[in-house]
Structure 1
Amino acid sequence: MPIDINDMHWLNPPPVWEMNHGRLSVRSGDKTDFWQATYYGFHHDDGHFLGQARRGDFTAEITFVGQYRELYDQAGLMVRHDATRWMKCGIEFTDGAKHFSVVVTNGNSDWSAFRLDHDFDAISVRVTRNGDALFIQYRTDKMSEWRMARLAWFDPALEDVSVGPVFCSPQREGFEAEFLDFRLSDPLSRDIH
């Protein structure tokens, strides 16, 4: 489904972005990131995020490609309530390879990541919110089935969130990504097996 940005709003707009036939092409600003405190001690809330408001439970899906080159180049999907309560997931470049990465922030950030060893161009991410949980899945353009990445706690009292594409480049400027589609709908299911 083509991206429709009419009901979406930028947090920290990137220096370069354009819509072309329902696809969003972007280039990051210098040393942008989302992270709160843990391990590194810094607080960053200057990554680029294009969000659509959503209340209650939902399923969000996004497909994207990126020119990952430098440490921590990243693109994916964000679910955000405010600067200290959010989740981002997608591809992050670390240790010289693409990793599927999930950061959940409830005051402080945590980070889980695993290396994707097969070659791929595009990756799709699916996040389903049900009550107090975010069920996070992925599949690349070389896979037919969705795979589970994480089941994360997310405060059920935070009913109002924004959901949409996110990207950052903590070590540089000029990271390029393209978001091919985005959809936000009622939750698909509570089934995870």
Structure 2
Amino acid sequence: MKKVSWSSGTWTHEPVAAVEREDGLHVTAKEGSDAWRITSYGFVHDTEHALLAPFPADTATEVAFRLDLTAQFDQAGVFVRVDDATWTKAGVEQSDGLASLGAVVTRGSSDWSLAPVPSWNGRLVTVRASRSADALTVRARVDDEPWQLVRVAPLAPDAAAFAGPFCCAPTRAGLTVHFTSWQMGDPDTSLHP
């Protein structure tokens, strides 16, 4: 994996602040920021803070951040975007009092999957999205523990996609996410170890 410069990305929606320091990028989300389309809730939210760069076929993008989420639906991780109605966000979200690892895959309408990871609080989380053939494969880990498979979703091989770190704060002001790295490289070689 090779380091991606924070300055090489373009924001989908500007955050309150994005401050680059020696230890990474500190991003403060706007209250009410989120990404969701229709399913169950009936609304479309398209206000996420995603710092995106081109994500060609047969590559992977990887984002690491310190897990410090406290309010309902605080979230951070990797965002992969094709267009307004075709995107995936994957990472950790604070849901009903617990940090939960999951993904939202959107193809017209959003879906949502979560699994609680309360032991990850305060630790370094890394989320990797690999693009290979017709699939987007998302894995995550905490510190240097083994990778966990989060999601396999369709992504057309010829789609022009963009990817990078993201955060949202749907219910409050003041969420600042400390992203420690952003890298790109070769995709994972297989779905299973």
Q: Normalised by the size of structure 2, how large is the TM-score?
A: 0.92
Q: Tell me which residue corresponds to 1:55.
A: 56
* Paired position in structure 2 for 1:172: 172
Matches within 5 A, 1:36-55: 36-55=37-56
Q: What are the residue-to-residue correspondences of 1:179-190 with 2, within 5 Å?
A: 179-190=179-190
The residue type paired with residue 171 of structure 1 is T
Aligned amino acid, residue 55 of structure 2: R
1:71-113: CA deviation from partner (whole Å, max 9, x where unpaired): 1000000111111101000010001010002000011100000
1:13-56 Cα shifts (integer Å, max 9, x gaps): 10111111261101111200000100100001111010011222
Aligned to 2:162: 162
Q: SS of the counterpart of 2:112?
A: strand
Describe the SS at the equivalent of 1:118: helix
Q: Is the 8 A contact 1:73 1:93 kept in 2?
A: yes
Partner of 1:78: 79
Q: Which residue of 1 aligns with 2:125?
A: 123
Which ranges of structure 2 fall in alignment gaps of 5 or more residues? none
Please give the secondary structure, in 2, of the residue aligned with 1:156.
coil
1:151-189 CA distance string (max 9 Å, x none)? 11223342x111100100111122111110111123231
Separation in 1, partners of 2:32, 2:67: 17
Comparing 115-124 with 90-99, greater Cα deviation is found at 115-124
Residues 55 and 163 of structure 2 are in contact (CA less than 8 Å); yes or no, is this contact kept in structure 1? yes
Q: State the match for 2:18 in structure 1.
A: 17
Percent identity reads 31
Secondary structure of 2:141's aligned partner: strand
> 117-126 vs 104-113, which deviates more?
117-126
Q: What is the letter of the counterpart of residue 14 of structure 2?
A: P
Root-mean-square deviation (CA, aligned residues, Å) is 1.6
Corresponding residue for residue 105 of structure 2:
104
Please, which runs of 5 or more residues in structure 1 have no aligned partner?
A: none
Counterpart in the other structure of 1:132: 134
CA positional deviation for 1:3: 4.8
Q: 1:115 to 1:97 in 2, by over 3 A?
A: same
**Size of the alignment, in residue pairs?**
191
